[in-house]
Amino acid sequence: MDTKEISAASKNLDVDFLLELNKSS
């Protein structure tokens, strides 16, 4: 994986994490 792929994957994880936080609150 190159750095672009890694940063895109980490952004997607951050988004999923925030969505889960919003659902639980």
> What DSSP line would sit under the chain, residue for residue?
--HHHHHHHHHHHHHHHHHHHHHH-
First to last CA, the chain: 35
Rounded distance, CA 11 to CA 25, Å? 21
pLDDT given at position 14:
92
Please give the single-letter amino acid code of residue 21: L
Which residues, 6 or more positions from 19, have their beta carbon under 8 angstroms from its beta carbon?
none
- How do residues 1-25 score in pLDDT, each as one tens digit? 789 998 998 899 999 999 999 998 7
The answer to whether the pTM exceeds 0.85 is no
Q: Where are the domains of the chain?
A: 1-25
Query: Residue 14 gets which letter from DSSP?
Result: H
